[in-house]
Amino acid sequence: MKKKSGQSKISAVKVYFHYISIKIRCMMQYKKSFILTSLGQFLSSFNAFVGIFFLFRRFHSIAGYTYSDILLCYSVVLMEFSLAECIARGFDAFSRIVRQGMFDRVMTRPRNEILQVLGDNFEPTRLSKTVQAVIVFVYGTTHAGIDWNLLKVLSCLITIACGTAVFCGIFLINASFCFFTLEGLEVINIFTDGAREYGQYPIDVYGKRMTRFCTFVIPYTLVQLYPLKYITGKSDELILAFIPLAAALFLLPCYALWRLGVKKYKSSGS
């Protein structure tokens, strides 16, 4: 946007955090609801962790992966997913936004549509899931017996950031479909909630075809299987440490679909 003299534009980042601050203020109006929802969110995905724990009390390896490998994998995927859910909640609730005509208001404000949808629908209670993910993550990474070094830490951070981007991308696809169908497509949940569940295990335990699909169609393996191979020391090819960056490219087609949806909205208005 062109800058006018004497009037500087407030950055999108500042606006985003202002939205979040408003959402937290809104939440705090309803104290009990806030606490109970947070607690519920916290407990709901804990059972998966318990599942893995008991599974490995009986079996000591699955398809060549040890308890600590699975633990690391689970904690990384849970971290990616919960961050994405926290950030991209607006995409998840998008069919409601379109049907109730709230997208018209978005269109009459001089800011990027995605910024407004994400900011305005930020869910503070989802942060408790992230807190849980952090706990599991710290437990997982410290008990996985990994020989940490600077490069591995960096690779791990890149993996989480790009994995969050991949999940956000899937949420964005779901939102974009709302422009065409008005309802979100439940089938997309296979790729979000589903991925969180089956992503507990390195994808290649599901076989070759699945691995291929999860590499070239939706790049899950790039934010899970391959970088973790490097981090756990199963492979020392340096490219695996940075391969998650390629997964971030997944956002491009997702964004293109979104633009197409907005264009459709502008011509049909429903």
Binding site for other proteins (CB under 8 A): 1-2, 6-10, 14-15, 18-19, 22, 25-26, 29-30, 101-102, 104-105, 107-112, 116, 266-270
> What's the one-letter identity of residue 84?
A
Q: What count of residues does the chain have? A: 270
Q: Which is nearer to other proteins, 9 or 143 (CB)?
A: 9
State the sign of the Cα–Cα–Cα–Cα dihedral 137, 139, 140, 142: positive
Q: Which residues contact 232 (CB under 8 A, 6 or more apart)?
A: 68, 69, 72, 144, 146
Q: Which is nearer to other proteins, 47 or 267 (CB)?
A: 267
CB of 98 to other proteins, least distance (A): 12
Rounded to whole angstroms, the Cα distance separating 70 from 25 reads 38
CB of 91 to other proteins, least distance (A): 20
Q: Which is nearer to other proteins, 29 or 47 (CB)?
A: 29
Rounded to whole angstroms, the Cα distance separating 46 from 223 reads 22
**C-alpha triplet 6, 12, 15: angle, nearest 5°:** 95
Nearest to 167, CA basis, from 225, 220, 97, 217: 220
CB of 256 to other proteins, least distance (A): 18
Q: Which is nearer to other proteins, 21 or 149 (CB)?
A: 21
Q: Which is nearer to other proteins, 9 or 212 (CB)?
A: 9
CB of 185 to other proteins, least distance (A): 16
Q: Which is nearer to other proteins, 122 or 137 (CB)?
A: 122
**C-alpha triplet 247, 252, 258: angle, nearest 5°:** 130
CB of 165 to other proteins, least distance (A): 24
CB of 100 to other proteins, least distance (A): 9
CB of 101 to other proteins, least distance (A): 6
Q: Mapped to the 3 state alphabet, what secondary structure does 197-244 carry?
A: HHCCCCHHHHCHHHHHHHHHCCCCHHHCHHHHHHHCCCCCCHHHHHCH
CB of 109 to other proteins, least distance (A): 6
Q: Which is nearer to other proteins, 27 or 205 (CB)?
A: 27
DSSP state letters, 116-180: HHHHHT--GGGHHHHHHHHHHHHHHHHHTT----HHHHHHHHHHHHHHHHHHHHHHHHHHHHHHH
Q: Which is nearer to other proteins, 25 or 212 (CB)?
A: 25
For 70-82, give one letter per residue: b (16+ CB within 10 A) or e: bbbbbbbbbbbbb
